């Protein structure tokens, strides 16, 4: 996508990519200067530093913009930390226990939502805030029942039990919940045939299912449940390029603006979690461009949040990630790496791999090749198209290096391919083939420490060290909001005794459910 295609998504008019977006900001701008105290916790799920680097380079070189994240990081009032992310069961966490650590100050095992392996529930920051009369809510580009938001309101040893988690959301009495996940609220799709939309309405919620309905709800003082897609919200690159998706599904900055307007009405304060959840999914899929563009949407969300905090200085901002993912790395290419910048700029997809694969279903080899070339703007060889076609039509299996997401992995590898030729020990220029240069190590989470950005006009950092455990962010929020509560804890040795290996079929179900 060239810069001219992004003029319409600059900070001034980004949110809607159409005229209706300006209506959202016009309605919320004047009502967000409330002076309320609060915490805004922003999560880039599965957000490697390589993705941020790619986004910053694209913004500066192609879009001629400076990122809000880089501006925030350079602010002398901002504190930059690293956090350990390991869970009780593994050095590599999944999103559930990572979010539990933030929400409760206690570690648990992979798959668990705010419950210890021995069955004891952990009280969450949302629950503490509600007890003190604060308003609480979250917005996400994943399903509203997905692990990161669910860990702040649900107690369940299985994050995949999203039918039950949806009922937990009903009982949590949050003021704001927005994202995807219609399949867990719609009585025609739920296994138990319960009409959760009707139950939320009966409880006093305004239920909205489109961007248009979201706009109409802004002046409504009722709590809001917004569910805008059957599963996750579509990738940002797909919403930019598909008018139907953009018209129905609000952006993360849009949902954030509305959430801030609603939550800040409470003079006692609020807690808001914001999740850019599909960065994680794009990394699982080795989709370098989709990950980078969802990071771009996150950056625009940061702009909305910082504008709000500038008007409401009693609000603390925490921006972080729960874990790395798939080893997203911008690799050097060419002699002395001098082709690396050009290779990175060669990513110019007009759709995510997810969108392409849906279009490729039931198509022949010729059509698969044409679809891939059309959406990536890259010519590929017939044998490369055959690789995609083969992976598209065979059963997914976990193979060498735990590669499960196919044909996504193959598509990512093909887009990162460069070929150089030498003759008489001299390089023949230009390169025979130069595409992108983002490489991945797997399709799984990774264990590296994650960045934490803390910003607030009235933030007192106290004893906060430069390298922390993820559980310490709970303490930071509690100290800021004057909460005093310690959850029970377990050590790793005791917790491991409760961990049972799941079957391959159950693991496959989780992988299929996770990003689909």
The catalytic residue positions are 95
- Of the candidates 290, 320, 283, 277, which has an alpha carbon nearest to the alpha carbon of residue 441? 283
Cα–Cα distance for residue pair 437/346, rounded to 1 Å: 9
Cα–Cα distance for residue pair 250/272, rounded to 1 Å: 18
Cα–Cα distance for residue pair 252/17, rounded to 1 Å: 12
- CB count within 10 Å of CB 138 equals 26
Helix runs in 203-267, H state only: 211-216, 236-241, 243-248, 252-263
Cα–Cα distance for residue pair 276/294, rounded to 1 Å: 7
Sign of torsion over alpha carbons 31, 74, 48, 109: negative
Cα–Cα distance for residue pair 371/353, rounded to 1 Å: 11
Cα–Cα distance for residue pair 319/330, rounded to 1 Å: 23
In sequence order, which residues have a C-beta less than 8 Å from that of residue 9 and are 6 or more positions away?
Answer: 17, 240, 300
Cα–Cα distance for residue pair 415/410, rounded to 1 Å: 9
Give the Cα-Cα-Cα angle 12, 14, 19 (nearest 5 degrees).
Answer: 90
What residues pair up with 454 in beta bridges, in sequence order?
A: 79, 318
What residues pair up with 422 in beta bridges, in sequence order?
A: 427
- 3-state DSSP call for residue 333? coil
SS3 assignment for 164-211: HHHHHHHHHCCCEEEEECHHHCCCCCCCCCCCHHHHHHHCCCEEECCH
Cα–Cα distance for residue pair 174/170, rounded to 1 Å: 8
List the beta strands (DSSP E) in 46-175.
79-84, 135-143
Cα–Cα distance for residue pair 287/509, rounded to 1 Å: 21
Residue 104 near residue 125, CB atoms below 8 Å: yes
DSSP at 251: P
For residue 112, give both structure tokens. 């668990």
- What residue numbers does the annotated binding site cover? 45, 146, 148, 275, 280, 284, 322-323, 445
DSSP at 31: G
Residue 340 near residue 333, CB atoms below 8 Å: yes
């Amino acid at each position: 996508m060239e810069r001219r295609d992004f003029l319409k998504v600059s900070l001034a008019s980004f949110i809607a990519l159409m005229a209706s977006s300006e209506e959202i900001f016009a309605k919320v701008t004047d009502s967000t200067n409330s002076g309320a105290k609060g915490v805004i916790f922003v999560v880039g799920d599965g957000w490697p530093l390589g993705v941020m680097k790619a986004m910053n380079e694209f913004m500066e070189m192609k879009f001629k913009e400076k990122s809000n994240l880089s501006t925030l990081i350079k602010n002398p009032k901002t504190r930059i930390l690293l956090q350990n992310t390991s869970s009780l069961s593994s050095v590599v966490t999944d999103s559930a226990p990572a979010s539990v650590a933030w929400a409760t100050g206690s570690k648990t095992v992979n798959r668990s939502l705010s419950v210890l392996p021995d069955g004891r529930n952990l009280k969450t920051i949302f629950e503490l805030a509600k007890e003190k009369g604060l308003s609480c809510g979250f917005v996400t580009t994943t399903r509203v029942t997905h692990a990161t938001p669910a860990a702040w309101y649900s107690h369940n040893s299985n994050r995949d039990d999203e039918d039950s988690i949806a009922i937990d959301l009903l009982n949590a009495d949050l003021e704001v919940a927005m994202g995807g996940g219609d399949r867990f609220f719609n009585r025609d799709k739920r296994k138990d045939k319960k009409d959760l939309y009707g139950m939320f309405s009966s409880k006093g919620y305004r239920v909205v299912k489109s961007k248009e309905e979201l706009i109409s709800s802004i002046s409504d003082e009722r709590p809001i449940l917004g569910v805008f897609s059957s599963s996750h919200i579509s990738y940002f690159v797909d919403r930019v390029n598909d008018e139907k998706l953009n018209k129905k599904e609000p952006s993360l900055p849009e949902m954030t603006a509305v959430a801030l307007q609603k939550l800040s009405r409470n003079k006692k304060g609020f807690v808001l979690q914001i999740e850019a959840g599909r960065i994680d999914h794009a990394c699982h899929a080795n989709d370098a461009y989709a990950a980078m563009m969802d990071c771009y949407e996150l950056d625009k969300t940061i702009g909305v949040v910082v504008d709000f905090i500038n008007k409401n200085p009693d609000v603390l901002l925490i921006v972080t990630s729960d874990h790395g993912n798939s080893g997203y790395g911008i690799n050097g290419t060419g002699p002395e790496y001098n082709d690396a910048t050009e290779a990175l700029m060669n990513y110019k997809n007009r759709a995510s791999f997810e969108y392409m694969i849906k279009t490729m279903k039931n198509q022949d080899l010729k059509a698969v090749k044409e679809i891939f070339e059309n959406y990536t703007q890259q010519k590929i060889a017939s044998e490369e198209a055959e690789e995609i076609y083969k992976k598209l039509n065979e059963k997914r299996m976990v193979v060498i290096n735990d590669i499960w997401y196919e044909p996504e992995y193959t598509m990512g590898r093909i887009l990162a391919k460069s070929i150089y030729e030498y003759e008489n020990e001299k390089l023949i220029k230009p390169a025979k083939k130069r595409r992108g240069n983002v490489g991945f190590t797997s399709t799984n989470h990774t264990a590296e420490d994650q960045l934490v950005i803390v910003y607030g006009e009235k933030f007192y950092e106290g004893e906060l060290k430069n390298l922390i455990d993820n559980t310490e962010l709970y303490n930071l929020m509690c100290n800021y909001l004057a909460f005093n509560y310690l959850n029970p804890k377990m050590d790793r040795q005791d917790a491991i005794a409760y961990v049972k290996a799941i079957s391959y079929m159950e693991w496959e179900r989780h992988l299929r459910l996770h990003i689909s």
